[in-house]
Structure 1
Amino acid sequence: MVNDATTPTGPVLAGVDQGGQEYVVRCAAEQAALHDVPLHLLHVAEHHGTPAQGAEVVAPLEGIVRTEFPGVSVTTEAVSGRASAVLVERSALASWTVVGHRGSGGFSRLPLGSVSWQVATHAAGPVIVVRPGDTPPDPEKRVVAGVDVADSSGISSHALDVAFAEAALRGASLELVHGSFHLGETPTGPGMAAPDFDVLDEAVRAALREEADKRRDRYPGVPVRLHAERLRAATLLAEASRGAVLLVVGSHGRSGLRRLLLGSVSSEVLHTAACPVAVVHTTHPG
């Protein structure tokens, strides 16, 4: 059962580019099939490209959907413009937006392409960022959700609702992951005592159990595992994503700057996760 907060109200929108986009289309088509909504493939021709040339891009991708996902209603479109701006605008009418992880510039530590980054940051609804090789041939039926129990606004309730719903739709288990390593917790001066980590860790586990219990009646068929370690959150999430079908993170950056809306952990896992990453905005980016 999918509750009202996570029920799609529009098609899945897939932004596709030239070459090697089959993985994006298959991920988007699967998402559309799971939610029983249409799929819209959109190519935005930038620079010297034309909509006519864009039609040649989307035609074979439409063929993949019709062949491999016959139950999914698919439409295509090619327009001219700036890809990130068009996709962000169109995301307001989509239940999900799916984009590829297209890096540039030769910086291995910053492999996320600018279009994917802009869409993940500014889209009106949830976004899935996927790249070639993200999903192993036989992935575990496991969804991972990053949980920040120290967030002053409370645990990201909407992101957790989405994570439970996605696990239920996939017949998957759900792993709630919290990482909490801070240099400030390590005493450095004479006479300084370390905090009682056992007490802190139990408080974290209690908070995770409480969130799981809130959703148990709505999602009784979703097995939940709690995973909390004294490790950097982004590092722990990247490790947990190996073999998973989806990693769900909330977007609630504490800065008022648009470029920082994702928050540091969500930003990092977009570059390091080993499976598709679903970014769920806690508040509208504006």
Structure 2
Amino acid sequence: MDDATMPTGPVLAGVDRGGQEYVVRCAAEQAALHQVPLHLLHVAEPGGTAAAAEEVTAPFERLVRTEFPGVAVTAETAAGRASAVLVERSERASWTVVGHRGSGGFARLPLGSVSWQVATHAAGPVIVVRPGDTPPDPERRVVAGVDVADTSPISSRALDAAFVEAALRGASLELVHGSFHLGETPTGPGMTAPDFQILDEAVRAALREEADKRRDRYPGVPVRLHAERLRAATLLAESSRGAALLVVGSHGRSGLRRLLLGSVSSEVLHTAACPVAIVHSAHPH
């Protein structure tokens, strides 16, 4: 996802009743950064009235026009199952933005909730944002989770997206790798611990290599490497504090890329202290 191949469709924001201004602001900021329109989509149960639907979308449209006057905004109400409609519409969007909470049971993102389904199955990248995720003045820092053992196109695409988001925000980029495996710890007589210094240096070398691959394309993005022998999801949650955005790929090393989120991506949706961008496949545009 470099500047030449970035999708140019609108940012799609799923909105509902119940104080989701935080979702709209995040989506509008994303549209402003990428210089694309914003489309607000409210999915209502069949049988609702047009007036009731407009009561949901009209205040959000006014918010965008007031606070983000440079963003072209449209709004729509569609009937159906929210997750299915948002996933279908994501095929024409550059990004899809959804809230962590809402009337669909978003509080803990249980399997089957709207946010979970969209984060898992959307055609392009998704941002999941919760109330209070973004402080009034976040640090100019984007965090990217990097699995140095995962060389898949999805992992590479997520890292490309992180560089793009840092460049657009004039932010630094923190490449984070966490690894802690019980198998690394000797448990029996005569067992010898691995040379952690060698392992740690190999991780840092792999992170430097990933950064160097993109340095010419993003010369203005300062990059910091952060590797610790700590659970990846725990380290990412800690690193996300105060950050503008956390970017992760959508599947772990299990390879269930279109069926489940990876275990790390899944956990950080619950624990991250900033909006989480899920990048999981080449965009159809």
- TM exceeds 0.5? yes
Deviations 1:203-228 (Å, cap 9, x if unpaired)?
00000000100111110000000000
Match of 1:174 in 2: 173
The letter for the 2-side match of 1:128 is I
Shift of 1:153: 3.1
Q: Deviations over 1:46-65 (max 9, x none)?
A: 26544442221000000000
In structure 2, relative to structure 1, the CA distance for the partners of 1:186 and 1:105 (3 Å cut) is: farther
3-state SS of 2:215 partner? coil
Q: Scaled by the length of structure 1, what TM-score is found?
A: 0.92
Which stretch has the larger CA shift, 45-54 or 74-83? Answer: 45-54
Partner Cα distance (2:238, 2:111) in 1: 18
Q: Give the structure 1 partner of residue 232 of structure 2.
A: 233
Query: Cα–Cα, structure 1 residues 138 and 162, in superposed 2: closer, same or farther, change >3 Å?
Result: same
CA contact (8 A) 2:124 2:282 kept: no
Match of 1:46 in 2: 45
- Superposed CA deviations along residues 241-269 of structure 1, whole A, max 9, x for unmatched, are 00000000001342548542x10000000
- Contact between 1:146 and 1:249, CA under 8 Å: does it hold in 2? yes
CA distance in 2, matches of 1:189, 1:110: 40
Q: 1:21 to 1:107 in 2, by over 3 A?
A: closer
Show the 5 A alignment for 1:146-161.
Answer: 146-151=145-150, 153=152, 156-161=155-160
Aligned 8 A contact 2:167 2:218 in 1:
yes
Aligned to 1:247: 246
Give the C-alpha shift of residue 108 in structure 1: 7.7
> What CA deviation, in whole Å up to 9, does each residue of 1:152-205 have, x standing for no partner?
537811101100000000000000000000111111011000111101100000
Contact 2:251 2:263 in 1 (8 A): no
Match of 2:113 in 1: 114
Q: 1:181 to 1:15 in 2, by over 3 A?
A: same
CA distance in 1, matches of 2:167, 2:196: 34
Which residue number corresponds to residue 21 of structure 1?
A: 20
Secondary structure at 1:4 match in 2: coil
2:16–2:102 Cα contact (<8 Å) kept:
no
Encode CA deviations 1:112-163: one digit per residue, 9 max, x unaligned.
8810000000000000000110011221100000000122537811101100
Task: Indicate if the aligned counterparts of 1:250 and 1:266 stay in contact, CA closer than 8 A.
Answer: yes
Aligned counterparts of 1:106 and 1:191: Cα–Cα separation in 2: 52
Instruction: Check 1:111–1:20 CA distance in 2 against 1; reply closer, same or farther (3 A cut).
Output: farther
- Does the alignment pair 1:124 with 2:141? no
Q: Which amino acid aligns with 2:244?
A: V
Once residues 97 and 209 of structure 1 are traced to their aligned partners in structure 2, the CA distance between those partners, rounded to angstroms, is 30
Specify the alignment match of 2:213 in structure 1.
214
1:55-134 alignment runs, 5 A limit: 55-102=54-101, 114-134=113-133
Post-superposition offset of 1:236: 0.2
The corresponding residue for 1:271 is 270
Alpha-carbon distance between aligned partners in 2 of 1:257 and 1:115, rounded to the nearest angstrom: 18
> Cα 1:241–1:184, aligned 2, differ >3 Å: closer, same or farther?
same
- How big is the shift at 1:103? 6.5
Relative to structure 1, is the Cα distance of residues 165 and 200 closer, same or farther in structure 2, using a 3 angstrom cutoff?
Answer: same
Q: Percent identity?
A: 84
Are 1:137 and 2:142 an aligned pair? no
Residues 54 and 167 (structure 1), Cα distance of their counterparts in 2 relative to 1, 3 Å cut: same
Corresponding position: 1:4 with 2:4: yes
Note closer, same or farther for the CA distance 1:81–1:277 as it changes in structure 2 (3 Å cut): same
Unaligned runs of 5+ in 2: none
Please list every run of at least 4 consecutive aligned residues from structure 1 whose deviation after the TM superposition is greater than 4 angstroms.
103-113
Q: What's the secondary structure of 1:75's corresponding residue?
A: strand
2:139 maps to a residue whose letter is: E
Instruction: State the TM-score, normalized to the length of structure 2.
Output: 0.93
